[in-house]
Amino acid sequence: MGAAWTEQEAVHLLNRTGFYTSKADIEACLTLGQAESVRRLVAGESLTGKTVSLQSITELTADGKEMKADSIGDQQTYWLYRILNTEAPLVEKMTLFWHGHFSTSFSKVNDIPLMLRQNELFRNYALGNFHELVLQIGKDPAMMIYLDVNSNRKGKPNENYAREVMELFTLGIGNYTEQDIKETARSLTGWSYDRKEGQVKFNKGQYDAANKTILGETGAFNETTVVDVFFKQEALPQFIAKKLLKLFATDEPSQEWVDLVASDVLKDQTIGEVLRKLFMSDAFYNPDIQGSLIKTPIEYVAGILKAFNIPLSKGFTQSARKMGMELFLPPDVAGWRGGTTWLMTTNLLSRFQFAESIAKRLNNNLLTSKDYALDPLSKPEDFVRQFSQNVGVWNMGEQSAKTLAQYANDTFVYAKQKNNGMKGLLQLIMISPEAQMK
């Protein structure tokens, strides 16, 4: 960027790459500068230099009870714990992204260790080589179960995985034919997951070794070389570039911007390098796209919990479920639709109910701490903005600030109402339009 690195730009970067934007992280970004801040985020390094040693699931308690590794509900809560405590938020955000991109649900897999194995695969490749990740996911046991790879045999190919690997994972709708799907399925025959032995196996006798023609190329393709064919298609970098821009930049990226990022996808070795260039670009900091993306339920819940350091509870992931997002249980093979679907009536109501429940949890000491030292009566709008920032809402609009300031002015005039008034103000901030956005 040509101009000086500003607080507003640092906030934007943090909003898009993490789950909660704290004062400490903003100050660290401003001290480090743009290039070093971006480098650390992409490298999975702490911005502040703080190190965190995550506890194992069996070392934690939630709601006063020990957590169990063999409970999917506890594993959902444990993933939320990782999100809340990580010093590498971009890694965790990309882990969540890949979980939706390569959608796999516990409802069919019904095997916690396999879901966790896949989760670690996504974490390990969060910012890594996408080509290698596509190869790895093809032999991932949870994915193999979810898309019926075991029934893909010579002479009787199952097209489920072949269809989704092109439509949802690499190329996008309209960039292949039904015949390409059939031929790809033949290329993937012979592989299975043995549940009893816990091993992925290749049966040469069930592999169709004959020539196939896929996307205009002919050869005796297998599970590796067919992926190479996908990566030769112009549609692939376009598809991934658009998904990354929708995740981090804007719901409606221009074709020019998609083309630019696609060229990076094509030539760069890692997703991390693609994102580094994106986060260093002027276009990423365009004021028109700041605060324009809707937070996912997990982002919304995690941001509020992190703001107040609220103890872990199993109910929090269930709150996210009611908002439309349940970890390890995406709705179908296409994953979560995102965007405006997060604010459909029932989902939005669940956000409001969560905000109300959190406001009720907060005690007097927290609400009257030095973090809220401004007098709400002498400078109500300044007070509202400070209060909002402590909750991680840094983009409070002028109209919302005025409305909330009027509430503060009306409520805090009576000293005995101050604490209830602050709880009410907090709830209103959490359900404000700005609090839903990033």
How do the pLDDT tens digits run along the chain, 438 residues long? 556 899 999 999 999 999 999 999 999 999 999 999 999 999 999 999 999 999 999 999 999 999 999 999 999 999 999 999 999 999 999 999 999 999 999 999 999 999 999 999 999 999 999 999 999 999 999 999 999 999 999 999 999 999 999 999 999 999 999 999 999 999 999 999 999 999 999 999 999 999 999 999 999 999 999 999 999 999 999 999 999 999 999 999 999 999 999 999 999 899 999 999 999 999 999 999 999 999 999 999 999 999 988 999 999 999 999 999 999 999 999 999 999 999 999 999 999 999 999 998 887 655 555 455 556 667 788 888 988 998 899 999 999 999 999 998 888 765 556 677 888 999 999 999 999 999
CA–CA dist 14, 37 (Å, integer): 10
CB atoms within 10 A of CB 295: 20
Task: List all residues 6 or more positions away from 304 whose beta carbon is below 8 Å from its beta carbon.
Answer: 310, 354, 355, 358, 391, 392, 430
Residue 95, both tokens: 């882990």
CA–CA dist 148, 143 (Å, integer): 8
Indicate the SS3 state at residue 192.
strand
**What is the length of the chain?**
438
CA–CA dist 12, 6 (Å, integer): 10
Helices (H), 207-331: 225-230, 235-248, 255-267, 271-280, 297-308, 315-322
